[in-house]
A and B are shown apart, each in its own frame.
Chain A
Amino acid sequence: MDFKFTEEQELIRNNVREFCVKNVEPIAAEIDENSRHPAELFEKLSAGGWMGIPIPQEYGGAGADFLTSIIVVEELSRSCASTGFTISTHAGIVCTMIHLFGTEEQKNNYLTPMAEGRHLGAFALTEPGAGTDVMAVTTAAVLDGNDYVINGTKTFTSNGPTAGTYLVFAWTDKSAGRKGMSAFIVPREAPGFRVGEHFKKMGLRSSQTSELIFKDCRVPKNNLLGKEGAGLPMAMAGFDGGRIGIAAQCIGILQAALDESIRYSKERIQFGSPIARNQAIAWMIADMATDLSAARFLAYHAAWLKDQKLPFSKEAAMAKLYASEAAMRHTVKAVQIHGGYGYCKGAKVERLMRDAKITEIYEGTSEAMRMVISGTVLR
């Protein structure tokens, strides 16, 4: 067994940390407050080649392994969970799915520009009536000559307002059940496609989220990803990787909560000594550090399995479930440690707590994760 990162992975972690301290940390509170997409930051991330880390270099990526991309998401999320998530969904799901299932033409036309960071990708499955229950999707696509015509509405689409390429799931044959959904690559300029308003959210506020409206939206036949009817299995494959990305985001949040809690509890004097000397505080920090370690090992192990091309669905679900619940639990504690100061804007822990909540909900709720895990272990 080997728990060591490669020298390259360690150097990349240090580099992304330095990048974050210089470029992300100083704007993180502002972009949260204003719910703003920091285009200037994403230009810098693109210039540094951080937008397509797990994608091969021939398609504009960095050609690193998946574990390396997880390290980057973790470090970005330590400074700004929105930024970490935006890249995770863009590279870890949308780019990865087109790389896995796309034709050479689709890779050249859509994957390369995204991996180079020229624009973002968005994954559009969820609908107003279809969350965990993906079969309740109503969006449908009909072949008409050389085009598919898509009608329907997607919601809670991350990167919706900012993306240039959308991966959209729609029924091509509802009667075929799980084998009746297909995935389409929809460019932003497709006729009949419209992006709705950006939702104002409790947390993860600089990540842009919106509805997508398809009204007789036409895309060329060649924009079908994979085969007709293969949409759901492909989406599940995308989710598996995405869930490790969410776990990495949670690890970043947890590390930040721990950093802040250690710093504050050593500085804050009550009853004549730093509050870190109080066992009640010290134990909260001990639990936080322990859960952070556990979440790390689950996530790194799942990423390692994926890199080894071994099955990793269950491990990805476990990593996502554990890391997200730990992030929520401990960011609440981090606010507690900070007392009144932690409840006010300007305290990083306040943002961390709001950002943590969504990780128990999106890309498979905690409940859905328990369904996946129990379904596997009880089989």
Chain B
Amino acid sequence: MPTVIACFKWVIDEAYIRRSPSGDLDFSSVDYKIGEYDRNAIEEAVRLKETAGAKAIAVTVGMPEAAKGVKDALSRGIDEAYFIADSSFGNLDSSQTALILGEVIRNRIEQYDVILCGEGSSDLYAQQVGPRLAEQLGIPCISFVQKLSLAKDQLVAERRVEEGIEVITSPLPALVTVLPDINVPRIPGVKDTLMAGKKPTVKITKDDLPPLSEPLLRTISLTSSRLERSCERFGTDAAEIARFVGSLRKKGAIG
């Protein structure tokens, strides 16, 4: 029986972020959700469970509050979860997250065939955790996947690349980062949600892990984007076009 691992991040639901009059972002009444593309990763793991008889495991690193996210993942058809939680894990950067995930997958999950990640997280969309995790584990990484199937000892993936669609095979185990087109995540029924808490969850704390590495990324500030519109008219002769280019330069729109 193949084992498929889906990694997910419990992120702020952007629909609840408000912009205060001063331009700051107001997070005071936000709700959380499983990142959009990570839901596709979870759905794909469950689909492989249903089509290829795989065991579906979910892994997440985050704040203790993400326990609700673990239940959410389990309600979507995941068989068991690994929940790595600490109150200091709210703002890990991608390198730290990948290190922790790698550590847990290497030492706690003996045998696995496919690791699925969303192409990027809903909050930062750095697209870093998947490739970094593959590097940690020394396994192939296949990104931008829109279709996936398991065959004997290998996987077949359709990648959407700029030139078109690339179909590749990879030996197992391998890490796959998925695009939203790969599937339509199911909406769990009431019973699925009620049963989720009864499924096995392995809780891992900071003390169970080696010391955390320094972050490679530092957040200096966070503000909402502002859209400024202005209207200026230009003619079509050479002098006017020169004036147009000059105006764009002045506004910093071009270099």
Contacts and interface: CB of A to CB of B under 8 A. Distances in A.
A15 B193 contact: yes
A304 interface: no
A38 interface: no
Interface string B6-35: 000000000000000000000000010100
B80 interface: no
A49 B68 contact: no
Interface string A41-62: 0000001111001000100001
Given A7-B67, A11-B72, A72 B33 contact: no
A63 interface: yes
Given A7-B67, A8-B71, A11-B75, A57 B191 contact: yes
A14 interface: yes
B190 A49 contact: yes
A197 B71 CA distance: 46
A12 B190 contact: yes
Nearest to A22: B187
Given A10-B68, A48-B187, A48-B189, A62 B194 contact: yes
A199 interface: no
Contacts of B75: 11, 15
B68 A53 contact: no
Contact of A18 (B31, B68, B187, B192): B187
B142 interface: no
Contacts of A53: 190
Interface string A7-31: 1101110110011001000000000
A262 interface: no
B191 A8 contact: no
A47 B186 CA distance: 12
B201 to A, nearest CB: 13
Given A8-B196, A8-B197, A14-B33, A68 B68 contact: no
A5 to B, nearest CB: 11
A68 B190 contact: yes
B188 interface: yes
Contacts of B192: 49
Contacts of B189: 15, 47-50, 62
Contact of B190 (A10, A14, A18, A50): A50
Contacts of A18: 187
Interface in B59-99: 67-68, 71-72, 75
Contact of B193 (A11, A22, A47, A57): A11
A62 B191 contact: yes
Nearest to A53: B190
Of B72, B190, B197, which is in contact with the most chain A CB atoms at under 10 Å from its CB? B190
B188 A15 contact: yes
B195 to A, nearest CB: 9
A173 to B, nearest CB: 41
Nearest to B185: A18
A176 B83 CA distance: 63
B176 to A, nearest CB: 25
Given A7-B71, A8-B197, A11-B68, A49 B33 contact: no
Nearest to A69: B190
A63 B196 CA distance: 13
A8 B194 contact: yes
Contacts of B71: 7-8, 11
A347 interface: no
A162 to B, nearest CB: 22
Interface in A47-91: 47-50, 53, 57, 62-64, 68, 72
B52 to A, nearest CB: 23
Contacts of B72: 11
Contacts of A68: 190
A9 to B, nearest CB: 9
Contacts of B193: 8, 11-12, 15
A49 B195 CA distance: 13
Contacts of A22: 187
A8 B67 CA distance: 11
A62 B188 CA distance: 12
B185 to A, nearest CB: 9
A23 to B, nearest CB: 9
A231 B166 CA distance: 69
A112 to B, nearest CB: 14
A63 B188 CA distance: 15
A72 B189 CA distance: 11
A18 B188 CA distance: 10
A63 B191 contact: yes
A15 B194 CA distance: 12
Contacts of A15: 75, 187-189, 193
Contact of A72 (B190, B191, B196): B190
Given A15-B75, A57-B191, A63-B191, 12 more contacts: A7-B197, A10-B68, A11-B68, A12-B190, A14-B31, A15-B189, A18-B187, A19-B187, A49-B190, A49-B192, A50-B189, A68-B190
6 contacts: A8-B194, A12-B193, A18-B187, A47-B189, A48-B190, A49-B192
Give the top 8 A-B pairs by smallest Cβ distance, nearest first.
Answer: A49-B189, A62-B190, A48-B189, A7-B68, A62-B191, A49-B191, A19-B187, A11-B193
